[in-house]
Amino acid sequence: MTNGSIAVVSAAPEQFGTIALATLRDLLGGFDEPVVGLPTGRTPVALYEAMARRQYTFPPGARLFAIDEYCSPTRREGTNAAFFDRFLPRASCHAAVALPRADAADPHAEVRRFCAAIADVGGFDVAVVGIGDNGHVAFNEPGSAIDSGCRVIELTASTRAQVDATWTPPPETGMTVGMAQIMAADQVLLLASGPAKSEILSAALTGPVTDHVPASFLQLHPHLTVVADALALSGVSL
């Protein structure tokens, strides 16, 4: 179904990863050597597991970039680099996923270098994103402007809690692409699953466009596709 420029694909919970992969494959089909932004977190695990089951490979020449990374003086299990090592085997790609270094001595310089590399290849063709419990996209926490750029950002307590099982204390800051880089993508694919995302997904898709819910900025994107399971969509009325 569609709402303005938003295309919403509903999936049964057990089919979420498979449908997310089919949707991503369709979006990538419109580009030669696509530049792709990829997320981490609980939600996209189903997508990457579907890639492994179906032995999916990205198109030849695809360039893959993470959309964020924690700042940590030492490499830890909870970093996004470790996430991709676990859930996106090299066999799925013709090149490794590029990330800023979590343990960079100067994270501000590191995220500038990282985002310059994205800009050098023309920016994202397809940006795949999740939505945080507080409405963040990548690490663009509440208060982020629609034109915010790549930067180091202070993480909220709810974001930090996502990795408190893997290191204590969890990192206080992260490096992220900005809303500006996400909004500039030709296509945005937003993934959401589970009942815990129902309220915030409704706010993002049908509520006011506000920096209190950075995901709401995606309402203004000309080509937004949402893949969500029935549980996440249970509170959404389009």
Q: Exactly one of 68, 69, 110, 186 is catalytic; which is it?
A: 68
Q: Are 166 and 204 in contact (CB under 8 A)?
A: no
Phi-psi region of 62 (alpha: psi -120 to 50; beta: other; left: phi over 0): beta
Mark 103-126 as b/e (b = at least 16 C-beta within 10 Å). ebeebeebbbebbeebeeeebbbb
Neighbouring-strand partners of residue 153: 174
94 belongs to the catalytic site: no
140 belongs to the catalytic site: no
68 belongs to the catalytic site: yes
DSSP 174-221: EEE--HHHHHTSSEEEEEE-SGGGHHHHHHHHHS--BTTBGGGGGGG-
80 belongs to the catalytic site: no
Q: Exactly one of 80, 110, 136, 229 is catalytic; which is it?
A: 136
Q: Exactly one of 49, 134, 211, 212 is catalytic; which is it?
A: 134
Q: Which H/E stretch holds residue 121?
A: none
Q: Exactly one of 110, 125, 141, 186 is catalytic; which is it?
A: 141
Three-state DSSP at 65 gives: strand
Q: Which H/E stretch holds residue 80?
A: helix 80-87
- Picking from 13, 10, 94, 87, the residue whose alpha carbon sits closest to that of residue 49 is 87
For residue 213 the two structure tokens come to 């819910």
Active site residues: 68, 134, 136, 141
